[in-house]
């Protein structure tokens, strides 16, 4: 599956920053978020282990009735670089129910009064959903890189790093998914070493990880599939048409051994990818006009269809919470990032 590295352009490499710059950016962002209309609470998520690579995750909780202006244009250029993406915005009702569709481990309350958190009816089942969604979206990102001929290195290092959370939520270990765990260890080592030597990491450094990524993601998906054999009926499985920015993709059931070659073919760079990767807008246009059938292990796909009999309350609640949250962001929170990965599957 290493063909993904051929004809792909590596851009947006990490730039060195000091911890002091992160502190300044954090203070700048948090001060503006605390001034938002309808402000309820502000949370920090995650830590800064590798300045220049790490991003800043801040979650502002607000009342749903208020329209919230974006703070992104008001941030300094350095704060925008360090943050890497807009802060997360959540209405209070969704934040109360967020455990139904995301897992925000290590939340730290910075300001305000945090709402009480409601627990889902089946936390273990929710975690399996989150693992499947995270791994499926990572596979989709690999396809997107192949189609656009372009890899944003810093954000991709963060996405690869987040794979460890999906493995944890899936209840997998190194014995169940050895290639996946070896990959997340390699990602950790790459992030640690990026600025440690006489020369920083490069596109070639990222390409070495990219070469191993498809097999590692597939290893995790197949291990999750084996976990689901006794819990998911294949009669529930169906092709899944996705929404939003990944709408060019349809997930289709594919078992072993065919899935290995099928995925390799899907992540193979399209003709002209090297040229298209030089112009961001061309890559974006190619992605929007693509039609991709992405193979997915059958039990994982059945879980993502969310139609299993006996789990209707869980699925109905998840869909409702995700849909209400998307409506809030679309009408009152434009310009902010969203928590959770369930939107494309809802």
Query: Where are the chain's structural domains?
Result: 122-311
Backbone angles phi, psi at 108, to 5 degrees: -125, 120
Spatial CA neighbour of 193 closest among 56, 5, 14: 14
Q: What is the DSSP letter of 113?
A: -
Structure confidence by residue, pLDDT tens digits, 76-122: 999 999 999 999 999 999 999 999 999 998 899 999 999 999 999 88
pTM of the predicted model, to two decimals?
0.93
Structure confidence by residue, pLDDT tens digits, 137-174: 999 999 999 999 999 999 999 999 999 999 999 999 99
Interatomic CA distance for residues 169 and 125, integer angstroms: 10
Q: What residue has token string 């203070």?
A: 27
Q: Per DSSP, what are the bridge partners of residue 112? A: 41
First to last CA, the chain: 30
Half-sphere exposure of 267 (CA within 13 A, CB side): 26
Mean pLDDT for 203-216 is: 95
Interatomic CA distance for residues 113 and 232, integer angstroms: 40
């Amino acid at each position: 599956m290493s063909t993904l590295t051929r004809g792909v352009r590596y851009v947006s490499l990490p730039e060195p920053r000091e911890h002091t710059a992160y502190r300044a950016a954090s203070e700048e962002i948090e001060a503006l978020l605390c001034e938002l209309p309808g402000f309820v609470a502000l949370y920090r998520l995650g830590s800064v282990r590798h300045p220049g690579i790490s991003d800043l995750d801040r979650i502002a909780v607000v009342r749903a009735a208020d329209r919230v202006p974006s703070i992104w244009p008001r941030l300094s250029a350095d704060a925008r670089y360090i943050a890497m993406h807009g802060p997360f915005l959540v209405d209070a009702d969704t934040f109360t129910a967020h455990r139904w569709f995301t897992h925000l481990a290590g939340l730290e309350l910075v300001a305000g009064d945090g709402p009480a958190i409601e627990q889902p009816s089946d936390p273990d089942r929710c975690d399996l959903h989150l693992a499947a969604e995270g791994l499926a979206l990572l596979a989709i990102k690999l396809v997107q890189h192949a189609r656009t001929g372009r890899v944003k290195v810093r954000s991709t290092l963060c996405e690869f790093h987040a794979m460890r959370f999906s493995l944890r939520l899936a209840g997998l270990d190194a014995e169940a998914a050895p290639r996946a765990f070896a990959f997340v260890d390699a990602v950790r080592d790459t992030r640690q070493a990026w600025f440690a030597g006489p020369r920083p990491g490069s596109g070639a450094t990222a390409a070495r990880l990219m070469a191993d990524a498809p097999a590692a993601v597939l290893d995790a998906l197949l291990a999750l599939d084996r976990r689901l054999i006794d819990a998911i009926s294949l009669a529930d499985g169906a092709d899944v048409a996705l929404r939003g920015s990944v709408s060019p993709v349809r997930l289709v059931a594919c078992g072993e051994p065919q899935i290995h070659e099928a995925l390799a073919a899907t992540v193979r760079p399209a003709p002209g990818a090297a040229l298209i990767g030089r112009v961001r807008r061309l890559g974006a246009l190619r992605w929007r006009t693509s039609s991709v059938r992405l193979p997915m292990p059958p039990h994982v796909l059945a879980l993502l269809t969310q139609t299993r009999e006996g789990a209707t309350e869980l699925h109905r609640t998840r869909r409702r919470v995700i849909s209400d949250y998307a409506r809030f962001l679309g009408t009152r929170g434009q310009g902010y990032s969203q928590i959770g990965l369930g939107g494309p599957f809802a």
